[in-house]
Each structure stands twice: as structure tokens, then as C-alpha cells.
Structure 1
Amino acid sequence: MTLQRRLQVITPSGTESAAMEEGNAMIRVAFASTDMIRVDQHFGSARGMAIYRLTQECADLVEAAQFGEQAQDGGEDKLLAKFECLEGCAAVYCAAAGSSAVKQLLALGTQPVRVSHGTRISDLLRELQTCLKEHTPPPWMAKAVQRQQGDPSRFDAMASEPWEEEG
């Protein structure tokens, strides 16, 4: 099954860059959900995804995708639309995920996170914001923040390289 509907929330220009300038980590996190309130779907057969942009101060819904009814049949082709939808997401929370999907998600740089069926998205967002505020992120979040902010040591390495001026 392919993507049926996709709603993207347009934010005022500069919102993301303003958060970055303030030194705020900003990550995208997805939740497999039918009602956009609870995580209640297996990744492979998920009929919906809610994608949030998360900082220490706020969590904004930026995208909602609907995939329709899907069976848990091991069919890999149904995952392609989900992988495209998750582009730029550091993690996807779901009630379960098959081993093949987990491997593919990790290869794409998206950490699958299994939570209990019915876990409220708002509770998970609060937990993630607390991790960002207290600088106690889980490993996948620490990697995402580091990727976003870049490796500060790379500038030291560049500065130590010999310079050649063209004239």
C-alpha cells in the first residue's frame, strides 16, 4: 500500500534556524499511530505516522501521514512509502517492528523504538524534552544532536591543515 494522505505543517520561515542559533537541539521524531494521540501500531502495518519537531522548549506536529489498511505479511514493498515519510527523523516509536524493517531503519539513520501499545505521544514527547534539557539523551538522540550540530573538532583539524593561497 502506498501513501494515501500526507499533511505537512508549514512553519514561519526562520523558525528552525532561530532554534539552531539559540543553541537548541532540534530533532524530528515519528510515532506509529492511528489516532495521533497514542502509539498503537506495528511499524510495518502502520496506517498512520505523526511526525514532530522537538526542541527543549516545544514539540510541534510537523507532518501527519496516512497509509491505509496494511497486513503484517512480511511484504517489503509497503515499507518504501514509510521510509520516505521518515526522511530526516532521528527515531520512530512503534508498538513493534520486524527485524528486516529494523535493519533498514537503522541503515537510514532512524532508530526504531519499541514502546507499549497505547503509550501516549504527549508523554513520550515530554520525556524526550526532559532528556534534551538535562543533557541525558539516549544514545540515538545524542547521535542525532551531534549530527545536527556538526563535529566541533573538525574545525580544529581544518585549522591545522596547511594553507595555500592562490594568487
Structure 2
Amino acid sequence: MKVAFATQDLERVDAHFGWAKNIAFYEVTVDSYTFIESISFGGDLQEDGDEDKLGPKVAALKGCSILYVAAIGGSGATRVVSQNIHPLKVPQPEKIGDLLDNLQVAMRSSPRPPWLRKVLSKTGERTFDFEEETENA
């Protein structure tokens, strides 16, 4: 699945979605993750009520399943969710690599967290969670 990270420094999730200078993209599976690309955004990215700056960012997220952000406003969240992308807020700056590792652990866990089951069901990935295997004799 394709996952995006709002970042100022390309190393940590440390940016509000609307103000992010960069969005880094990774392909994530249960066993590995691979950097795909980063897209940089210029211009005035400060909080100013200008909703036009969100359009290019939302368009860049095409094909993503999850977006990690430090924060996201109501308008941005609405646009992201309408594209079937699940935004996840990171309460303090966190390394992208650590978030990827934690996502893989969640993908392997059983049962999976409800938000992840929902994301995986939209991507068409296997979502079977068996707490116990039972035998029918």
C-alpha cells in the first residue's frame, strides 16, 4: 500500500498538512517498505485561510491509503478522507522510519487495529484476522 508523510525535513513527520514543504511517499508491505518519491511544495504555506494550496497536495496523494501528519485542518481532512485516504496524526515529531516499522507491526498483528482493517479492506489487501484457529471435526 502507498503511504504518505507530511514533512519539513524528509526524515520526520513534523508538518501540518497545509504547511508541509514536502510529502514523502513509500510503498509498504508486511515485509518491507520502499521509498518511492518526495514532492516539494513552494509558495506561502503558512496558515492564511487560503484553501487553494490544498488542491495540489491532495492531488499528489492519489493512490495513497494512509497520510501521516502532525496536524490537519478540517478542510484538508475532509478532502483527504473523500479520496479514501486515512489521515493519522502524530502528536510529536517522529521519524518516518519508526512510523513505517510500527505500521508493519500493526499489519502483522492479530487482530489488526480497526482503522487498519478499514484501510486494508479499501486497498483490496487480505484482511483476515484470526484470534484463534478452530477445527471443525
- Provide TM-score, normalisation by structure 2: 0.83
Matched, 1:57 2:31: yes
The residue type equivalent to 1:134 in the other structure is S
Other structure's SS at 1:60 match = strand
Aligned residue in 2 for 1:146: 121
Other structure's SS at 1:113 match = strand
Contact 1:90-1:140 at 8 Å conserved across structures: no
C-alpha change, 1:46 and 1:136, in structure 2 (3 Å) is: farther
The residue type equivalent to 2:47 in the other structure is Q
Structure-1 separation of matches of 2:39 and 2:111: 30
- The count of residues paired between Structure 1 and Structure 2 equals 125
Aligned residue in 1 for 2:130: none
Q: Which runs of 5+ in 2 are unaligned?
A: 127-137
Which residue of 44, 49, 63 maps to 1:88?
63
Aligned residue in 1 for 2:72: 97
Over residues 19-43 of structure 1, what are the superposed CA-to-partner deviations in whole Å (9 max), with x where a residue is unaligned? xxxxxxxx11111112211011110
- Provide TM-score, normalisation by structure 1: 0.69
The residue type equivalent to 2:90 in the other structure is V
Aligned residue in 2 for 1:68: 42
Contact 2:86-2:119 at 8 Å conserved across structures: no
Structure-2 separation of matches of 1:85 and 1:147: 19
Q: Which runs of 5+ in 1 are unaligned?
A: 1-26, 152-167
- Runs of 4 or more consecutive aligned structure 1 residues displaced over 4 Å after TM superposition: none
The residue type equivalent to 1:39 in the other structure is V
Aligned residue in 2 for 1:132: 107
Over residues 36-61 of structure 1, what are the superposed CA-to-partner deviations in whole Å (9 max), with x where a residue is unaligned? 11011110111100111100111111
The Cα RMSD (Å) is 1.7
1:2-41 correspondence to structure 2 within 5 Å: 27-41=1-15
Q: Identity rate of aligned residues, in percent?
A: 36
